[in-house]
Amino acid sequence: MHEVSDAARDIADRVHRFVRERVVPYEHDARLGSHGPSDELATELRELARSEGLLCPHIHEDGSHFSHLETALILRKSGLSPLGPIACHVMAPDEGNMYLLGKVGSDAIKQKYLAPLIAGEARSAFFMTEPAEDGGAGSDPSLMQTTCRRDGNHWLVNGRKAFITGAEGAKVGIVMAKSVEPDSEGGACLFLVDLPDPAIRTERVLETIDSSMPGGHAVIAIEDLRVPADQMLGEAGEGFKYAQIRLAPARLTHCMRWLGLAVRAQEIATDYACRRTAFGKQLIDHEGVGFMLAQNRIDLQACELMIDWCAKVLDTGDLGTTESSMAKTFVAETLFQIADRCVQAMGGTGVTGDTIVEQLFREVRAFRIYDGPTEVHKWSLAKKIKREWRAGQTD
């Protein structure tokens, strides 16, 4: 059934009002930095959401989730401010990590690691991507250099990771490593770890174009990390399969949140164009500006439809790997064009930090790379097209 329930609409409406009325005023808070909002600010925002009953609003009290289609509506509303997803505790990587643990985690793992995340008492990090200079895993996870091997009733993990979002300040880590044990045939393993841990060391926090996620993006060294065997997520060698459970929905929730921010940027650019005059008339009456905003309206609608289409596929139980690649590629590229037009329509004001328009431009530019660059998704889709063509050929 592909419908949005009254309960989901009610939650979305409440999130909408909460973000506009209580979160937006924080957008110029001094605790916002180049590596995202401070943990102090993030905690304060989460407490505001808790007081409104809007912490993890896409998750029911029994731990089950609203449908993906319903989540799309809720998360779009949270995205109306860059701080909205942080306040509501639906920001990456926490949202994706909670989804994964809910799907794959044992009862013990859910109690120890998932419960504090849902309660907003902890942040998390997903340790998968590796430094390019090491020849490690980026868009191609088969290049995984981080290794794990059995050591009694523990596993020993060694390697380096890069672009690890939120590692600084996280209390829960999900670490991916390639097993060197013969019976796992070099497959990946996922481990739950308590943070901080002396075996997991931050080499540096990168200066990146985006600045919305607490803790920034870090380069990490993992040296002789000992993890109890019962803190492995699922089975040894199955890590890539489990990661796919997380990655397709996480790509889509990124799209949901950034679409919400793009809607707000369009509102800001429209207000500017309707108030500002030049050469004897309002800016919006100049086709060069009015047509940009008109195209934005068209593209925002197209992004919403693409997201909802993919969400419906996921709601059938399908992994939606192809559909999420298509949606992520289309939405990331289209939102960047929308952000660019908003900046252009606002002229000099558009490139300042006076509004969130400039931040949307930076964040969505990074999103064209994060969660798989556009070119990698298109390459994967092209391979699928070729396979389908071959399957359709007759002798």
DSSP output for 58-121: TB-TTS-B--HHHHHHHHHHHTTSTTHHHHTT--TTHHHHHHHHHHH--HHHIIIIIHHHHTTS
pLDDT value of position 90: 98
Within 8 A by CB and 6+ apart from 330, the residues are 302, 303, 306
Within 8 A by CB and 6+ apart from 197, the residues are 173, 225
Host H or E run for residue 224: strand 217-228
Q: Going by DSSP bridges, is the β-strand pair 200-206/172-179 parallel, antiparallel, or unpaired?
A: unpaired
Structure tokens at 196: 């901080």
Domain(s) labelled CATH 1.20.140.10 in the chain stretch across 240-388
Structure tokens at 4: 């949005």
* CATH number of the structural domain 124-235: 2.40.110.10
Host H or E run for residue 51: helix 39-51
pLDDT value of position 108: 94
Name the residue among 268, 269, 286, 264 with its Cα closest to residue 277: 286
pLDDT value of position 182: 79
Conformation bin of residue 202: beta by default, left when phi > 0, alpha when psi is -120 to 50 = beta
| Distance of alpha carbon 268 from alpha carbon 341, whole angstroms | 12
Helix axes 374-392, 321-345, angle to 10 degrees: 140
pLDDT value of position 194: 97
185 burial (CB, 10 Å; 0-12 / 13-18 / 19+) is: exposed
| Distance of alpha carbon 258 from alpha carbon 389, whole angstroms | 35
Which DSSP category does 143 fall into? G
Host H or E run for residue 352: none
Domain(s) labelled CATH 2.40.110.10 in the chain stretch across 124-235
pLDDT value of position 99: 95
Topology annotation, domain 240-388: Butyryl-CoA Dehydrogenase, subunit A; domain 3 (1.20.140)
pLDDT value of position 176: 97
**Residue at 285: amino acid letter:** D
Beta-carbon count within 10 A of 65 CB: 16
| Distance of alpha carbon 306 from alpha carbon 326, whole angstroms | 9
- Run means of pLDDT, 10 residues per run, the chain, 395 residues: 88 98 98 96 98 97 92 98 98 96 94 96 97 91 93 97 97 96 80 98 97 96 97 90 90 97 98 97 98 98 98 95 97 98 98 98 97 96 96 80
Phi then psi for residue 114, to 5 deg, are -75, -40
| Distance of alpha carbon 137 from alpha carbon 141, whole angstroms | 5
| Distance of alpha carbon 279 from alpha carbon 77, whole angstroms | 37
